[in-house]
Chains A and B, each alone.
Chain A
Amino acid sequence: MAIFNLKKREIECKVVYYGPGRCGKTTNLEYIFSSYKKQVKGEMVSINTEGDRTLFFDFLPIGLGQIKGCDVRVQLYTVPGQVKYSSTRKLVLRGVDGIVFVADSLEVRREKNMLSLKDLQANLKEYGKSIFKVPLVMQYNKRDLAEQGIPLMSIEQMEKDLNRQLKVPSFQGSAVSGEGVGATLKECLKLTLQSLQREFKWAQ
């Protein structure tokens, strides 16, 4: 739920990283925090539980500077991926403007990806949003593990599983090394701002 201050020409919008437990959502934010110093506008806050799993959310404020005469600020969040934290996940999703769905490329996590996407759809629906309309980008994470001989799904497979009908932009990534992290975020921000423009005509 973006906040506009048309007098001051400011926008603040919300982007949420969604995906199954352990897929690398927090790692994406950590990479952004440490690598995009110029854009980062405050501390990254993580509320974790046992074994660095997200309990409530991670939060990182960033700023994109002036875009079309508007000062654009973005709040990045991650949800807790563990199945049992479903009500918190829903809470964090509230008022979302754009979503990055981080899918785990590990073959053993195939089903978890699909269930998480289904969970996203259901939660969006409860907020009256359609997964087909919300600005959404996919990231197929942990591609680096192929080098170590760990069984990964092919990109074709993942596209077929998760993106066959959504047909949203997708990126390969390796959040630990940062590969694909920036590209994923940029595309998501682009879609988000475009969608807000259609809705609110904020740009001059």
Chain B
Amino acid sequence: MDIKQQIKATLQEAEIYRSQGLITEAHARYQNAVKIINSIENLKNKDSLLKAITEKIKALNITQEKVDKGPTTPELSKKAQDLIKNLFTFSDSKDEETAALEGAVALAKFGQFDRALKELNGLLAKDAIRVEAAKNILRCYMASTSTDEAINQYHQWHSGDLFQPQQLETVRGYLVDILQKRGLEANLPSPLGMAAKAAKTVEPVIDIDAPAETEEEFLDITSIGITFDKGPRKGKMVEFDVNFQSGNTLSLIISKKDNDLIDGLEAGTKLKEVQFFSPIAIFNGAGVVVSKTQIKTGPKQGDFCLDIRIVST
């Protein structure tokens, strides 16, 4: 491509990415254009061109900042909040109190803490759902303001007479438990007449905090493609079905008639180029042969069982 055409095409690409909000991608294209332009010795308008692009990049950086900062939990209009209550109440129970509780919890899940707290506080009056309402009030405080606020709230309840001792003890156990999970120790007085029991684990009713990134588990791998770097199939990729997977170790059964395929593979052999096919994505990586055994009995007698560990992806 003619170099001017190339610059034009690159800039056009950048412009489209920018208009679609693909900021990183637009950024990369603009940088690329700068590189191309700089590589040309005597380009007319070089300076003004570069200046224009620099401006674009600056604007992109500002947009990026705004997106990064974007409010995580804005206060929504009452109408939008009503919709959330409506759409994210799942119980089909006719029980009005439970439905009201679920509605308030839905608001909290979408970060509408002020109204959620107001509604939950109202629900404390209902004996049947008082404990659940209280637990959720505590979670709201933990998520929106602070742990201290939650603890203060408990003390207030403790000195009031809204709760029956058993109810308040349940709430106490719940709060102690979530505090412990955060590595916090709090000395919360038990209600009168209730022996301080060890807090039993209570499942949180709602999970407002962004869940911690769970450790990446291995995807199910259904087959793998091994590219051989020696032997008769050197440079070729051969695909094998995975018969069994345990974590990152894959077991393949290879028919005795394909013996020549795996001739070069022994325990310890490193496989530098492996494609892993999972139901939802293909990724490249490396593996190592853990073991290779010939099956001695049964219908697959004489076939080989090859265990391969995924070492990197």
Residues of A within 8 A of B (CB): 1, 3, 21-22, 45, 47, 49-53, 55-56, 59, 75, 86-88, 91, 94-95, 106, 108-109, 114-115, 117-118, 121, 131-132, 145, 148-151, 160-162, 164-166
Bound state CA distance, A30 and B279, in angstroms?
A: 31
B17 close to A50 (CB less than 8 A): no
Proximity bits, B215-235, A CB within 8 Å = 1, else 0: 000010010000000000000
Bound state CA distance, A2 and B76, in angstroms?
A: 27
B25 close to A108 (CB less than 8 A): yes
B83 close to A53 (CB less than 8 A): no
Q: Does B303 contact A (CB under 8 A)?
A: no
By beta carbon, the residue of chain B nearest A49 is B70
Interface stretch of the complex, out of B37-45, B85-93, B174-182, B190-198: B85-93
Contact of A22 among B21, B110, B207, B210 (CB under 8 A): B21
A145 close to B16 (CB less than 8 A): yes
Proximity bits, B60-81, A CB within 8 Å = 1, else 0: 0001001101110010100010
B63 close to A51 (CB less than 8 A): yes
A1 close to B211 (CB less than 8 A): no
B211 close to A86 (CB less than 8 A): yes
Q: Which residues of A contact B277 (CB under 8 A)?
A: 164-165
Proximity bits, B131-175, A CB within 8 Å = 1, else 0: 000000000000000000000000000000000000000000000
Task: Give A25 Cβ to nearest chain B Cβ, in Å.
Answer: 13
Given the interface pairs A145-B16, A149-B12, A150-B16, the reply to whether A51 lies near B21 with Cβ below 8 Å is yes
Most A-side CB within 10 Å, residue of B20, B28, B63, B280: B280
Contact of B22 among A1, A88, A108, A114 (CB under 8 A): A108
Q: Does B282 contact A (CB under 8 A)?
A: yes
Q: Does B13 contact A (CB under 8 A)?
A: yes
Q: Which residues of B contact A94 (CB under 8 A)?
A: 88, 90
Task: Give B184 Cβ to nearest chain A Cβ, in Å.
Answer: 22
Q: Does B52 contact A (CB under 8 A)?
A: no
Q: Which residues of A contact B59 (CB under 8 A)?
A: none
Q: Does B186 contact A (CB under 8 A)?
A: no
Find residues 19-57 in chain B having any chain A CB closer than 8 Å to their own CB. 20-22, 25, 28
A50 close to B74 (CB less than 8 A): no
Given the interface pairs A55-B70, A148-B12, the reply to whether A22 lies near B22 with Cβ below 8 Å is yes
Given the interface pairs A3-B92, A52-B21, A94-B90, the reply to whether A118 lies near B280 with Cβ below 8 Å is yes
Q: Which residues of A contact B76 (CB under 8 A)?
A: 47
Bound state CA distance, A160 and B275, in angstroms?
A: 13
Task: Give A140 Cβ to nearest chain B Cβ, in Å.
Answer: 16
B87 close to A75 (CB less than 8 A): yes
Task: Give A73 Cβ to nearest chain B Cβ, in Å.
Answer: 13
Q: Does B130 contact A (CB under 8 A)?
A: no
List 11 additional contacts besides A56-B84, A106-B17, A117-B280; criterion CB under 8 Å: A3-B92, A50-B70, A51-B21, A51-B63, A106-B25, A108-B17, A109-B22, A109-B25, A118-B281, A161-B281, A165-B280
Contact of B88 among A86, A91, A109, A114 (CB under 8 A): A91
Bound state CA distance, A47 and B80, in angstroms?
A: 8
The 3 tightest CB contacts between A and B, nearest first, are: A50-B70, A165-B279, A114-B281
Task: Give B91 Cβ to nearest chain A Cβ, in Å.
Answer: 11
Given the interface pairs A3-B92, A86-B210, the reply to whether A49 lies near B281 with Cβ below 8 Å is no
Bound state CA distance, A161 and B219, in angstroms?
A: 15
Bound state CA distance, A111 and B171, in angstroms?
A: 45
Most A-side CB within 10 Å, residue of B22, B71, B279: B279
Bound state CA distance, A75 and B80, in angstroms?
A: 16
B90 close to A49 (CB less than 8 A): no
B13 close to A150 (CB less than 8 A): yes
A56 close to B110 (CB less than 8 A): yes
A165 close to B222 (CB less than 8 A): yes
Q: Which residues of A contact B309 (CB under 8 A)?
A: none
Query: Could you give 30 example pairs across A and B, Cβ below 8 Å?
Result: A22-B20, A45-B83, A50-B70, A51-B63, A51-B66, A53-B67, A53-B70, A55-B71, A59-B87, A86-B211, A87-B211, A106-B25, A108-B25, A108-B28, A109-B22, A118-B219, A118-B281, A121-B279, A121-B280, A131-B279, A148-B12, A148-B16, A149-B9, A149-B13, A150-B12, A160-B282, A161-B282, A162-B281, A165-B222, A166-B280
